[in-house]
Structure 1
Amino acid sequence: MNNADSASQSVQTMYAERFASDLTDNRAEQKELAAQIERLRARLEQLEADETWLTGMQAALPGETMPPRPRRAPRTEEKPAGDDAPAGTPVPGPRPAGRAKARPSRARTSGRKKAASAAGVPLHQLIRALMPVGEPRLVREVHADLTEAHPERGTSVQVVRNTLETMVKRGAVGKGIQKGTAMYTATAPAASEGGEAPAAG
């Protein structure tokens, strides 16, 4: 009877630990997704503000002709372009300024698109791409490599550990214990390296 009771307690303990691990993984993933949503909201607000500014600049170009300012008068006199030069000068004046302001916004947009594309890749694919086949790695080592390669993810050590455990269940990563410490070893080539991301999931 004692052996049966101890076996029952060990099973309960095993399930309790598994449920606690899954719950921690669930909450960590919720936080990660919430952070991504917040970044996307901020990006959307920035795009809406840029759209409003660009629309106003576009509407101002072909329509009204603004009167020449006092600062532009001496510049017009220096250029012997003729009598039609003062009337045409104010029109092309604001165009280069508008284009110069639009270019940095496009550069920032391209940079943010690259960060967004990295943020949209599943975490297990990023982790697998950083693990050489047959080389045991600690959780903290994998987390350090992930933080260095993809700082925009902001993933914790616990999330990396839970993701590795999920990869162990899928057979993509092997797990061993060395000196009381869990070591994870990649057992198959990374799907992201071969361009077969759906096969990994």
Structure 2
Amino acid sequence: MTSQYINQVTGDLEQNVKEQERITAEIAGLQQQLAALQHDHTVLVNMRQALGVAGAAPEPASTGSATVPSPRKKATGEPRGKATAEPRGKAKKAAAEQPTAKAKGRSARTPAAGKDVATKKAQPTLADLVRRHLTEQNEPRSAAEVATALGEAHPDRGIKTNVVRTTLENLVARSQAQRSKQGTSVFYTAPHAPEPEAAPAPKAEAQPEAAG
């Protein structure tokens, strides 16, 4: 009975380490996304200062709690000591119940969590969406028009007009978009979009001189 329980505890330890490795990989993926957002935050703050907007910029959330825990090493000696100290009846009951509960927890959590991380990694950035939208247009678009189109195409991202406008200005600063004004309105186009040219005025035909 003791050897059977020891084998069971050893198997649970291996499953625990694998679960820690899976969660560690997910945290690493989330940290990459956080680093990308922090980079965008720095760019947006610089754009805000360049545009002369007054007021303090919102500070990013602290990342002190996002430290990735290192996986714990297998410690087969400690569970064996605990196993021999427990009453045999209680050890037998725990050995029968723990595998089932852990298997259910893994089957409920693992696919959903893995799918979430994969979906977040596959999503393009807002700058990519804006740049792609401008490329697909045949005429200039305002920030509000771009935000409306992207909001309808990606309703789950909660796209805001002011964020889109800042992103457009950032693309203009990097020569990845062009800005033009029509009256008091500002419009944006892809960098390779040709500017509309006015049609040349027809030349007057030369009249023959009257005979003297």
- Quickly name the TM-score band, shorter chain normalised: 0.3 to 0.5
TM-score (norm 1): 0.45
TM-score (norm 2): 0.43
Larger CA Rg, structure 1 vs 2: 2
